[in-house]
Amino acid sequence: MTTTADELREEVRRRYAESARAVSEGSQGSCGGGSCCVDGESESAKFGEALYDAEQRGGLPEAAALASLGCGNPVMVADLHDGETMLDLGSGGGIDVILSAKRVGESGLAYGLDMTDEMLALARQNAQEAGIRNAIFLKGVIEQIPLPADSIDVVISNCVVNLSTDKPAVLTEIARVLKPGGRIGISDVVAEDQLSAKARADRGSYVGCIAGALSKGEYEAGLEAAGFEHVSVEFTHQVADGMHGAIVKAVKTSEPAQKGLPVIQPTAKAGCC
Ligand SMILES: C[S@@+](CC[C@H](N)C(=O)[O-])C[C@H]1O[C@@H](n2cnc3c(N)ncnc32)[C@H](O)[C@@H]1O
């Protein structure tokens, strides 16, 4: 039986709502360590708070660190400056928004965007506890970003693009909201080019951040089609056979084109963790 895109998105939302509730209640929930991008204890060094250094973790409320579900540390590579406006796609418990808000300072602004109410509530509470006053958390989907065109200096994201059922829409939306010269620093799970969609699905679930991953070539082509230049996709650590945590960087140099990469059909099993 195949799963439709709407069903997959709902499964993703439900699973991350459960994870947010588990962190809020102080339990680990069914995802182990609070993370859904992980299939077991041995994976915990490849995902989540272990990817942040002690200094970054030291300045965070405990719940923000515990709720970290990413596969990288995009704030480290995003090169944020004082006064800039940044946007984190799929901001989860708010860890990267809080760290970014500190980087851009009070003259800057950090937006977080997430579709899951429970995550938004957790992120707002974490930002308040961290004393952050220049962060705004928005409800919405990353395929239709609720912000005006040319309004953002830097878009970051941590292990979320792989969860989207319409990746061309996400890349085109990123290009739309970025100012000319705006840049992206995204952490994501990325497959080696030889892995078919089926081979990716064999290595892990969709909500577990594996089955929906783009390949390196697909990411590069998708970003170029959306109007980006200086595109780079660099593997940082292996998370499954032929699949890696990666840093994706690019600069918006022209207006987004309406073409994109083919939609990867969500044939994957939707099971989690
Ligand atoms: C793997 S977690 C990552 C959270 C956060 N970036 C981090 O590093 O801790 C995925 C998050 O993305 C959100 N998400 C997944 N798909 C989304 C979509 N299409 N639109 C908006 N949010 C989405 C989920 O609700 C969840 O909070």
Distance 161 CA to ligand 1 centre (A): 8
The alpha carbon of 116 and the centre of ligand 1 are apart by a number of angstroms equal to 8
Burial class (CB in 10 A: 0-12, 13-18, 19+), 131: exposed
pLDDT of 114 over the 80 cut: yes
d(CA 27, CA 269): 26
Least confident of 48-57, 138-147, 149-158, 175-184: 48-57
* Mutation pick for ligand 1 pocket among 10, 16, 118 (CB with most ligand atoms within 8 Å): 16
Is the CB of 119 within 6 Å of ligand 1? yes
pLDDT surpassing 90 at residue 37: no
**Mutation choice for ligand 1 from 124, 160, 209, CB with most ligand atoms inside 8 A:** 160
Which amino acid residue places its CA nearest to atom 4 of ligand 1? 92
Q: How far is the CA of 52 from the centre of ligand 1 (A)?
A: 18
**Distance of CA 156 from the midpoint of ligand 1 (Å):** 12
Position 130 confidence tier, pLDDT thresholds 50, 70, 90: very high
In this predicted structure, what is the pLDDT of residue 35? Answer: 44
Ligand 1, atom 13: closest residue by C-alpha: 90
pLDDT for position 272: 33
If one residue of 163, 187, 207 were mutated to test the ligand 1 pocket, choosing by the most ligand atoms within 8 A of its CB, it would be 163
**What does pTM read for this prediction?**
0.90
pLDDT at 55 over 90: no
Task: Quickly state the pLDDT bin for 3 (edges 50, 70, 90).
Answer: confident
